[in-house]
Amino acid sequence: VSSSIGIAPSALVPHAMATPSSAVAGSEVLADPQGTAEAAPLLSEAWAVDAQHVGCYTGGKVAFCEKSGILGCLCSEELHLVDASSKDPTQQVAQEGDGVLTFALDPSGQNACPSHRSGLLRHFSLGEKPALVRSWKGHDQVVADICFDATGALVATGSVDTTAKVWDFSGYFCTHNFKGHPGIVSLTRFHPSRLQLVTISDTEARLWDLETSQCVGIMKNHLATVSSLCFGRVKKGVYELVTGGRDQVVSVFKLEDRCSTVRSIPVFEIIEGVATVPTKDLWQTCADDRSSGELSDWLRAQSKPPPYLIFTVGNKGAVRAWNPADGKAVATQDSPHAAKGQLRQIHCLDSAAGTRLLTVGEDLNLMVWTLPDFAVASHIMGHNDEIVHVQLIPRISWQESETGVGPEISADRFVCIANDEHPRIVNCEGFGASLLRGHTDVVISCDVSPDGQWIATGGKDQSVRVWSASDCKIACVLPGHSAAVSGLSFAKRRPRNVKVAAQQEQLPLLLVSGSQDKTMKIWELPSAAKLAEASSKAGDSGLKVKKSKVTVIAHAKEVNDVLVSPNNKLIASCGQDKLVRIWKFPEGDLLGECAGHRRGVWSVAFSPIDQVIASASGDATVRLWNLKDFKAIRSFQGHSSAVLRVSFLGNGMQLMSSSVDGLVKLWHIRTAECAGTFEEHTGKVWCIDIVGKRMVSGGADSKLCIWRDSTQELEKQRQDERADVAMKDSRISLLVREGKVEAALTLALDLSRPGQMKQILVDHTMDMVGKSMFKKTSQAEIEVAEAETSKKGVRGKKRRLAEKRAAKTKGQTEDSSDRTVIDLRRWVLSLSPIQLEKLVNLLEEWNSNRRMAPLAQMLFGIILLSVPSPKLSAIEGLNATCGNVLSYSSRHMARVESLLQKTFLFDLVLQSGGVGLSIEEKPGDETGADAIADSAEVALKRTMDVLLGSAADGQNDLDDDEDEDIHAEEHEDEASDEDELVEAMEDDTPDEPLDIKRRKKTKP
């Protein structure tokens, strides 16, 4: 059957039987024959998010608190606090419905003062959880900038209303209101050591004295807007003001003697940020060690360096250091940021020693630099734009024996490609990143070698670059495509032991690339040893492979993806021409094509155990193809939009797919059913990658998600729940046996065990009935025994036997009364409000069942009589519950009344025979035939009253619109019928039919 539909048998057998050896005997399985394919007998059911990165900066102000090490960033009009050392977001400060525009952190890092769109200033306490302390109105218009003084007691704000105000932060009142600027007050900074405030508006800066509330200096030296300012420490208590403007000039002002200009430094680029760094410690560091670098060499050459250096960033994509004494550039470092390297801000993170800098780029990422090395130390991902590709970097752990079963594969890093020219190597723990800098345009494709040592990237600059995964340095460049490189794949076979791995390091690496120029190229790279040597010496260029080994026109339209099979014998390519083509590797000969998709194919994936391949297409389907005849085997439908990525799980029996609809779906190959849907992303999920039990995904929502296979945890949780339920069920039975019936009822109610509750209540009811019957019987026996002992003439042994029998019967009665009795009223009153609500809902359900209705009615009666009204009214939905209960109760009542009427037929039959049961007879009353006749007559009368209804009942049942004469006739007929029945019962011939008696009576 499997051969007739064109699928390998292992894709049809149950998952418990599916192993790599289940392929057709004698056929060539695409899995690695050396046993490195991962086999998992348990099918995956659930995946959980271990960690996710959603970004911490989308533009605006960035501030750093040195004491707490917290970095404050604006992200989507919220204040995000990031630990600068671990790069982990720690807290978020936001007010619902009122976005944050700017903010300030106090020097202790314990308080934040953000300004909001509403014009309000707010005080947030930054403890374990940010808490709002106070809100107040600051300015008539929006606040543009906020800052704290060195003590944290004062806050200064600059506003669009052209004023600057100083606030007492503890009392929330305004102490100073400075007016005089002609335009928006865009920047405010307190003097580091004096009660003075510097404000910036357009091209001028003003110095305000808080003691005199006067402007003590106006500094005008720019022809364009001043974009940033900082203070440079000259000596203790003496500072200079440094400003940078968009007129490509950096100005240095004295803050004494009318704020005169010290120096104007032309920098020949639009300045976006300036920062000052003290040189004393840096100069000492360079003198003590032999650190290399342009800045280190310059500091080492100075006999007496200036008190500080000025660092600038701008639109030319470089970080430059300037000597304020002579206005010359002393060091320049290219920007590590994407987006053409443009920079927005620069900050000094260590104002005392000056060993760290922070730069903020146009790509919305943050870089931490170390000095005097003047090199990037770490990268904080602020915002990634769209994540277009992710791929885990495998790490191989070899067995102790060289001939072991195979390597253990894990992954703790991955390659992330956003919509820029710098791919990132990101740690799964903490999301710390390192950049691969070298591409000149946006990167869109990537692949990692099977041993995790090499990374290949391709982009719109039409080149392929190979990087060392260990040190992020370029090793090789492959030019040759005439359009963007859209797909890459290394040879996928992994070495089976250390010896084979050492041998493969001396062999050339093979790489396949696909491009939007419709071609596919197969490249022969230098060996791994030569690439490692080149990466250590490469610098910016690396080795260059000028020509590919094989070039073919792969598709009629753009190639979207290429992939080498696990056994290094096939290549699969897909493109916008709706085809999947299979090629021979490494020769590049076409073997066949898979046609059937109605839209372009975005991704392909080889099975690790069978001769099948999966494809993801823009027609919203995933298809499985047989590599023997290239025909479709399965079609997986469930996504509502284009499927962008597909990948096999390690067991080869399941697929994972991602789509434009924002969903990640898990599929069973054997049944083509969706085993799970994961909705963590809010936009297109461009990419997924799976290694072992770890998966990483990224999408258009800029979110990176690290997933883990939680199937075993889910199964363990289910087992624990079943064990817990079994234990609690046994606990219920144990409580019943111990006589703690009320506790058993409560536990059954908590566990939602209506069946056990019913059994307990039924047993209680039957027990109460049995006790009542036993009590009546015992009481009668006691009275008989006492009567016997009281009779005269009973003597000796016979009297003693009677007394003994009476005492035994009385003792049994007392023993039965000592047994445990359920007090349902007490039990109902002991329930909590949640338990009571649960009981009411259960009784409502029971009341709709004919068999359970009596129990429900009994408990409802106890609840209504026992529970106080306020407690009942607190039950949610009680009105609706009462309506439903009354509706069903009316039906139950009608059925009971009907049944009661039918029971009187027994009295009729028995009384008509002359031997009926008397209603109640008291001893000592009439005896003999007259008494029996009278009791039978009374019983019959009552029976007929019930069956036919009394005159009053008949009157109530008639319709009010009927004629009163008809009423009277009906009542007379009923009375005559009753008389005839009575006469028939008194006749000496009771066996004669009733209608004959009537006929005899009516004869003339």
What does the pLDDT look like over 352-402, one tens digit per residue?
Answer: 889 999 999 999 999 999 999 999 998 898 888 899 999 999 998 876 544
Q: What per-residue confidence (pLDDT) applies to 986?
A: 42
Average pLDDT, the chain: 83
- Answer with the residue of higher pLDDT: 677 or 835: 677
ω into 372 cis (within 30 of 0): yes
Which of 348, 366, 510 is closest to 424 using CA atoms? 366
CA distance 603 to 960: 82
Task: Classify 327 as helix, strand or coil.
Answer: coil
Which of 293-297, 448-452, 583-587, 806-810 has the lowest average pLDDT? 806-810
- pLDDT exceeds 60 at position 981: no
- Answer with the residue of higher pLDDT: 815 or 853: 853
- pLDDT exceeds 50 at position 952: no
Give the pLDDT mean for 200-223: 94
Q: What per-residue confidence (pLDDT) applies to 79?
A: 94
Please give the helix or strand (H or E) that residue 430 lies within, else none: none
Contact indicator for 418, 386 with CB cutoff of 8 Å: yes
Radius of gyration of the chain from its Cα atoms, rounded to whole angstroms: 46
Q: What per-residue confidence (pLDDT) applies to 19?
A: 34
Q: What per-residue confidence (pLDDT) applies to 942?
A: 65
- pLDDT exceeds 50 at position 10: no
Contact indicator for 333, 367 with CB cutoff of 8 Å: no
Q: What per-residue confidence (pLDDT) applies to 887?
A: 86
Banded pLDDT at 877 (limits 50, 70, 90): confident
- pLDDT exceeds 60 at position 747: yes
Give the pLDDT mean for 571-596: 96
Give the pLDDT mean for 268-283: 94
Which of 42-56, 57-71, 131-145, 742-756 has the lowest average pLDDT? 742-756
Per the confidence metrics, is the pTM higher than 0.85?
A: no
Q: What per-residue confidence (pLDDT) applies to 196?
A: 95
- Answer with the residue of higher pLDDT: 80 or 739: 80
Which of 425-439, 786-800, 860-874, 975-989 has the lowest average pLDDT? 975-989
Give the pLDDT mean for 976-996: 42
- pLDDT exceeds 60 at position 74: yes
Give the pLDDT mean for 159-163: 95
- pLDDT exceeds 50 at position 956: no
Q: Strand (E) positions, 627-720?
A: 632-637, 643-648, 654-659, 664-668, 673-678, 687-691, 694-698, 704-709
The residue assigned the tokens 């069946």 is 755
Percent of the chain with pLDDT over 70: 80
Q: What per-residue confidence (pLDDT) applies to 872?
A: 85
- pLDDT exceeds 80 at position 800: no
117, 597, 613, 999 from 629: Cα distances, Å: 64, 16, 12, 99
CA distance 172 to 169: 5
- pLDDT exceeds 80 at position 782: no
Banded pLDDT at 638 (limits 50, 70, 90): very high
Banded pLDDT at 833 (limits 50, 70, 90): confident
Q: What per-residue confidence (pLDDT) applies to 29?
A: 43
503, 561, 681, 703, 707 from 662: Cα distances, Å: 44, 21, 6, 11, 16
Banded pLDDT at 776 (limits 50, 70, 90): low
Give the pLDDT mean for 593-613: 95
Give the pLDDT mean for 908-930: 55
Q: What per-residue confidence (pLDDT) applies to 430?
A: 82
